[in-house]
Amino acid sequence: MAEFIARHASQNRTGAETARIFHREVLPHWASWTVGEVRKRDVIALLDRVRERGSPIMANRVLAAVRRFFNWCVGRGILEISPCSGITAPAREQPRHRVLSDEELSLVLEAARQISFPFGSIVKVLALTGQRRDEVGRMAWEHLDFSRQLWVIPGEHAKNGRPHLVQLSAPVLALLEGLPRTGGLVFSGDGKTLFQGYSKAKARLDRLSGVSDWTLHDLRRTVVSGMARLG
């Protein structure tokens, strides 16, 4: 698994999340085994363990990560067949269609103002740009061109793997210019470490705003919907 993470997973945009899944969900149970000892029933037992603790969507993510690992093993001649063959996703995932109303968005942004930097600032930039959470979270000062009012998202940070230019409006420019500069990263306490506490911070945001049953990605959908409404 260490070789897979180093050679394959680290080259992909989701590599850090894949490594986290292995270290948290897989290795505590399989670390002492050889790769050839893992059977289909072991994969199913692993997924059942995650699902039964109340995390069915994470069980899907674990299956996807483990499947990629074993397919990589087959491709390199380490195994002849993947133990994930024929295993279906543990949970059905429904596509989300949540769009925040103007009133809900106002409440969320007011709560984000109370929380302040870095998470509150991340939420406000998400609402002002319509970009993805990880793209905003990885923003670096070197990616910003204030004179041209541009944010250049590097290809390795973008979902499609290609550099992306984001035009910055006056409100988001003012917000960014007012942030503390502690290092290379914009939304970081020390300028070096990516913000990690999304779950806890989002729970606090929900308590302060009174808005529930939404995700940070829903802000992107809300922006798109609002722009369409405005023509």
What's CA 95's distance to the chain center, in Å? 17
The pLDDT, as a whole number, for residue 33 is: 94
The pTM of this model reads 0.63
Q: What are the contacts of 37-44 at 24+ separation with CB within 8 A?
A: 38/70, 38/83, 39/83, 40/83, 40/84, 40/85, 40/86, 40/87, 42/83, 43/83, 43/84, 43/87, 44/87
User: Cβ contacts of residue 82 below 8 Å, gap of 6+?
Assistant: 67, 70, 71, 73, 74
The tens place of each residue's pLDDT in the chain, 231 residues long, gives 989 988 776 666 667 778 888 998 999 999 999 999 999 999 999 999 998 888 888 899 999 999 999 999 999 999 999 999 999 988 887 777 889 999 999 999 999 999 989 999 999 999 999 999 989 999 999 999 999 999 999 887 776 678 889 999 999 999 999 999 989 999 998 999 999 889 899 999 999 999 988 999 999 999 999 999 888
CA–CA dist 153, 140 (Å, integer): 9
Give me the pLDDT at residue 12, please: 65
Query: How far apart (Å, rounded) are the C-alpha atoms in residues 44 and 18?
Result: 18
